[in-house]
Amino acid sequence: MLNIKTYWDRYSKKILVRLKRLQGTPYSIASGFACGVAISFTPLIGFHMVLAALTAWIARGNIIASAIGTIIGNPWTFPFIWVAVLYTGHILIGHSELTTNVDFMATFKAAGDALYSLNWHKFGQDVWPVFFPMLIGCIPFYVASWIISYKLMKKTMDKLAARKQQKSGKENHDSRTGM
């Protein structure tokens, strides 16, 4: 059986390999990745890639890196993200009673149905009581995840760029000296 730690190690190495292959400055790659990670904390399911690309473009980040960053939001992490964002939203709004037993899949299905049929009454009645607290609750997660992922990725990309530059400098030195 596959060990969870082994799986996450392999998964993170795969992501890093993809990011190393991207063209761009350490800032643009780190910024793009951070935009993707941050967007994953919003309740705007189905629009994460587009919104990540848009925010990366605004921040002068790498758009491909933003798509890779959205991998943070996946079927394993979304339930935890949604619960954390919902309860944070309730606290920020000042609701004394927190919504319990929310069926997120039914809420997202109702949102899709209401938007597809342009039934704003149904959206307001069935979706808004869950969607609005999530929208408010995602703000601190968005900011914190952007800052943390940017700093970590920038540090990593700076190290990789320095290593690459050092390696190319060594190759140039070797070709000049004939060694």
User: Would 130 be classed as within a structural domain?
Assistant: yes
- Determine the pLDDT at residue 173: 54
Tell me the mean pLDDT in the region 87-110: 80
- Determine the pLDDT at residue 81: 92
User: Would 162 be classed as within a structural domain?
Assistant: no
Residue 65 pLDDT class (50, 70, 90 cuts): very high
* Residue 134 in tokens: 């999530």
Among residues 105, 126, 129, which one has the least CA distance to residue 115? 126
Total of domains in the chain: 1
Note the Cα 69 to chain centre separation in Å.
Answer: 5
Residue 98 pLDDT class (50, 70, 90 cuts): low
Q: What is the pLDDT of residues 8-62, one digit of tens each?
A: 677 677 777 777 667 788 899 999 999 999 999 999 888 899 999 999 999 999 9
User: Would 1 be classed as within a structural domain?
Assistant: no
- Determine the pLDDT at residue 101: 75
User: Would 6 be classed as within a structural domain?
Assistant: no
Count of CB atoms within 10 A of residue 9's CB? Answer: 11
User: Would 86 be classed as within a structural domain?
Assistant: yes
Q: What is the pTM of this model?
A: 0.78
For residue 76, which amino acid is it? Answer: W
User: Would 15 be classed as within a structural domain?
Assistant: no
